[in-house]
Amino acid sequence: MSTRERRERSNESDRFLLSLFNAAVEKSGKSAKGLAIAAVGGYGRGELSPGSDLDIVILHHGQFSHDGLNEFVNSLLYPLWDSKSVDHSVRTRSETRDAAERDIKVALGLLDIRLVAGDSDLVDVVQNDSLENWRKNARHRLPELKKSLTERHNRAGELAYLLEPDVKEARGGLRDINALRAIAISGSAHVPLERISWAESKLNDVRETLHQSSGRKKDRLLFQEQDAVALELKYADADALMSDVAQAARSVDYLMEFTWHQIEHKAQEGFGRLIRKQRSEPVAKNLSVAQKEITIDPLVDISKDPILGLRAAATAAQLGLPISLDSYSLLSTALKDGKAVLPNPWPREAREYLISLIGAGESMVSIFEALDQEEIIFHWLPEWRPLRSLPQRNALHRHTVDRHMVETAVHAAALTRKVHRPDLLLFAALFHDIGKGEQEDHSIRGERLIAPLAIRIGFPLQDVETIKILVKHHLLLSATATRRDLDDPATIQSILSVIPDLSTLELLHALSIADGEATGSAGWSDWKATLVSDLVSRVKKAMIGSNTIAKQPEISPAQLKTAEAGILQVNLEKRENGYSIEIISPDKPGLLSLVAGVLNTSRLDVRSARTKSHGPSAVMKWIVTPEPHAPEISAEFLRSEIENAFQDAAHIESKLAAKAAAYSSAPAIPVPDPVIEIFNDEATEATIIEVRSHDRPGLLFRIGAGITQSKIDIRSAIVTTLGAEAIDTLYVTELAGGALSAQRSEEVASHLRQLLK
């Protein structure tokens, strides 16, 4: 199959129509002046598949009577109907213009109009009318076009992910390519159509082969016809064919999404003419927001910041914004030239950006798809390439393997409050089916493949072991709950034999839910969810000595000696991507909140903290990273700021309030609500408050302030940021000492929930 064959098929039809036109003109006794046959749509582009209609317009100047016109048209078309499927209209120039204004399908078809026979001047003037009106009215026609696309996509589904797709009508199919061509003609956006030339050729080849092998005019690629089409196109099998179809559709859809973003979000002066460049706002190191896109700052040396691509992806996903095409191009070039190679293993910062990207929920999908289309993701995660557009010929699954894993990550992002290690959940969700694509059991193969990947990403070996369990046993809970007797002790023991602790169990439960929901209603239901939940509850009861709560930090002898002096001391160590800060201070109510506020107003983001009170003093260890363009800090500066806050914290509170207001006006993505849990029986003489929340500026300050307002004391705190998620564990007592009562605990939890809304 080739473009040449489709062109020759069109040429053959042209010759046949020309002969019929000449015969009809001669029979009518009229002059051919003011009469023409024009091809439109696919026929106009010379892209006739075997089953395609001949889309033609018979144009005239009105020189016929009504009966005479009918006679001419019939003498022209009757010979065609025996051998061709013809879609025709008969119009004057003004009627054609009116029809195009009423019906966008007519307007789109006329963009490809060309002369087949007759008066070339008449066709030229209609063509000029069509192009001029389309460009002049683009402001109104393009929203109409988008609406029609959405309606068609809702009917036909996504070409890339359907088991039996329509290569013409489905999202990412041939009609979408024609829509992109129409947008390009309008001049409203730059549409690099060369990016989808392979996709267009591939989909046309598949459609043409389907017409020939089935002997019918049909565009839906059914299971029973995929093998024949694959064989004719010299594919190894139908899976290989469908993988290419999916990749072609994804390329088209990616360009379509980018094109609509250009049209809808870039400020314009008149329609289609960009105004002067909008002001850029820095959002992360070497990154800015301009024209509602994440852009790499000009002149940045990517070789000196190899984490930049991951930072851009995470920032874009967390803000719900796209990355500019120019920035993708810069990253792609740098990676291909070997100038942005990540170290092995990745530093923690790189790993956290990956987790932030995965955890962004629905907004992660378009960013990850773009990283795939630009072939950036393969430089970071070469394990992803074999899974790219890998089909699953399984009625339970709606998506290709790679898209299913992305969808699982989206569902997992909604469950991050249910677990104590959201980073492990998100990573395992994205890679749980990494073992697919071979004959070997994908869970066994996945366990083997995930270990070196997790090590390279920089997970500690203990976490790698947990990830291996999650990948190997991601089907365990669902299979056991639906196939085994839950009242049989052996059933519970079968889970206990492979799941070592409560933390792993809660991760596996969340992964089972996310995987099931991403599979769809055919693979997940309320009934199955209830069975799995029941199984997990029974296993929890049988687990002995399991605990997911962070333990209080230890104080070293050197810290203890300094603490006994009862003076404020700040030690600062500069790290590759931030600072390690040790603060030993006289203890006082609200100390955690004050120090967190000082760090935040000093433009430092808290990544982790460990604090513990000892007698009249408190020992704190903070890991922080600076915000973009933040000045360097010193221990002396921080010591001075903390002392000032001890005297008067009002300026800290006002700065944080202003920062919070600015943050609230920034783009935001939906995130799960914070979860606050109270544990009264997990520590001696203390109550444990655990806050699981999306990270944001001033979060720890607000939590600490809430504790102070509740008139209780923080004895220890363990603060951990995992990607974009924060888990804060506080050991608190009454001011006079002792754990909180159940009533007081609920009062404190309720107050914190109000503060964190």
Asked if residue 130 and residue 87 are part of one domain, the reply reads yes
Domain contains 192: yes
Residue 205 · residue 233 · CB < 8 Å: yes
Q: Which of 265, 289, 315 is the last residue of a domain?
A: 265
Q: Is 734 helix (H, G, I), strand (E, B) or coil?
A: strand
Residue 691 · residue 674 · CB < 8 Å: yes
How confident is the model over 252-307, as pLDDT tens digits? 999 999 899 888 875 343 444 443 445 678 899 999 998 889 999 988 999 999 99
How confident is the model over 459-496, as pLDDT tens digits? 999 999 999 999 999 999 999 999 999 999 999 999 99
Distance of CA 547 to the CA centre of its chain: 34
In this structure, of 208-212, 434-438, 573-577, 650-654, the range with the lowest mean pLDDT score is 650-654
How confident is the model over 533-577, as pLDDT tens digits? 999 999 999 987 667 788 888 888 888 888 888 889 999 999 878
Domain contains 415: yes
Residue 25 · residue 35 · CB < 8 Å: yes
Domain contains 324: no
Q: Is 115 helix (H, G, I), strand (E, B) or coil?
A: strand
What does the block give as tokens for 233?
């196109």
Asked if residue 439 and residue 416 are part of one domain, the reply reads yes
Q: Quick one: pLDDT band at residue 520, thresholds 50, 70, 90?
A: confident
CB atoms within 10 A of CB 22: 13
In this structure, of 24-33, 163-172, 347-356, 407-416, the range with the lowest mean pLDDT score is 24-33
Name the DSSP class of 341: P
Helices marked H in 499-611 = 502-519, 526-542, 557-563, 591-601
48-58 mean pLDDT: 87
Name the DSSP class of 418: G
| C-alpha to C-alpha distance for 47 and 203, rounded to whole angstroms | 12
Domain contains 554: no
| C-alpha to C-alpha distance for 81 and 362, rounded to whole angstroms | 50
In this structure, of 22-36, 160-174, 571-585, the range with the lowest mean pLDDT score is 22-36
In this structure, of 39-48, 169-178, 456-465, the range with the lowest mean pLDDT score is 39-48
CB-based contacts of 432: which residues, under 8 Å, 6+ apart? 405, 408, 446, 470, 471, 474, 511, 515
Asked if residue 738 and residue 614 are part of one domain, the reply reads yes
Report the candidate in 610, 618, 562 with the shortest Cα–Cα distance to residue 589: 618
Residue 22 · residue 119 · CB < 8 Å: no
Domain contains 320: no
Asked if residue 184 and residue 42 are part of one domain, the reply reads no
Strand partners, 583: 570, 620
| C-alpha to C-alpha distance for 195 and 255, rounded to whole angstroms | 8
133-139 mean pLDDT: 94
Q: What is the dihedral of CA 141, 144, 150, 156, to 10 degrees?
A: -80
Asked if residue 580 and residue 493 are part of one domain, the reply reads no
162-191 mean pLDDT: 94
Q: Is the dihedral of CA 599, 355, 358, 756 positive or negative?
A: negative
Asked if residue 212 and residue 122 are part of one domain, the reply reads no
Domain contains 304: no
Name the DSSP class of 269: S
Asked if residue 648 and residue 749 are part of one domain, the reply reads yes
CATH of the domain at 435: 1.10.3210
Domain contains 200: yes
Overall number of domains in the chain = 4
Residue 108 lies in domain: 3-136
Residue 373 · residue 484 · CB < 8 Å: no
Asked if residue 685 and residue 571 are part of one domain, the reply reads yes
Residue 698 · residue 598 · CB < 8 Å: no
Domain contains 47: yes
Report the candidate in 105, 4, 108, 97 with the shortest Cα–Cα distance to residue 47: 4
Helices marked H in 45-196 = 66-81, 93-102, 104-110, 120-136, 138-156, 174-186
Q: What is the pLDDT of residue 589?
A: 85
Q: What is the pLDDT of residue 269?
A: 39
Q: Which of 136, 166, 197 is the last residue of a domain?
A: 136
Q: What is the pLDDT of residue 24?
A: 87
| C-alpha to C-alpha distance for 252 and 165, rounded to whole angstroms | 15
Report the candidate in 496, 486, 490 with the shortest Cα–Cα distance to residue 542: 496
Asked if residue 628 and residue 598 are part of one domain, the reply reads yes
Averaged pLDDT score across all residues of the chain: 90
Q: Quick one: pLDDT band at residue 717, thresholds 50, 70, 90?
A: very high
CB-based contacts of 340: which residues, under 8 Å, 6+ apart? 302, 303, 305, 306, 308, 309, 331, 334, 379
Strand partners, 687: 732
- Amino acid identity, residue 536? V
Instruction: Go through the chain and tell me how many residues it has.
Output: 757
Strand (E) or helix (H) holding 461 = helix 461-472
647-674 mean pLDDT: 80
What is the phi-psi region of residue 46: left when phi exceeds 0, alpha when psi lies from -120 to 50, beta otherwise? left
Name the DSSP class of 161: T
3-state helix, strand, coil in the chain (%, to 5): 55, 15, 30
Residue 598 · residue 642 · CB < 8 Å: yes
Q: Which of 265, 283, 307 is the last residue of a domain?
A: 265
Strand pairing class (86-91; 54-60): parallel
How confident is the model over 409-443, as pLDDT tens digits? 999 999 999 999 999 999 999 999 999 988 899 99
Q: What is the pLDDT of residue 565?
A: 81
Residue 156 · residue 170 · CB < 8 Å: yes
| C-alpha to C-alpha distance for 381 and 376, rounded to whole angstroms | 9
Q: What is the pLDDT of residue 271?
A: 41
Q: What is the pLDDT of residue 4?
A: 80
The label of the residue with tokens 């007797």 reads 485
Asked if residue 168 and residue 65 are part of one domain, the reply reads no
Distance of CA 506 to the CA centre of its chain: 25
How confident is the model over 78-119, as pLDDT tens digits? 888 776 788 899 999 999 999 999 999 999 999 999 999 999
Q: What is the pLDDT of residue 112?
A: 95
Q: Is residue 1 predicted with pLDDT exceeding 60? A: no
CATH of the domain at 77: 3.30.460.10
Q: What is the pLDDT of residue 237?
A: 92
Asked if residue 544 and residue 587 are part of one domain, the reply reads no
CA distances from 669 to 315, 360, 627, 698 (A): 11, 7, 20, 18
CA distances from 209 to 202, 216, 218, 219, 393 (A): 11, 11, 11, 10, 21
Q: What is the pLDDT of residue 665?
A: 67
H helix and E strand count, the chain:
30, 15
Strand partners, 578: 575
Asked if residue 590 and residue 461 are part of one domain, the reply reads no
How confident is the model over 223-240, as pLDDT tens digits? 889 999 999 999 999 999
CATH of the domain at 231: 1.20.120.330
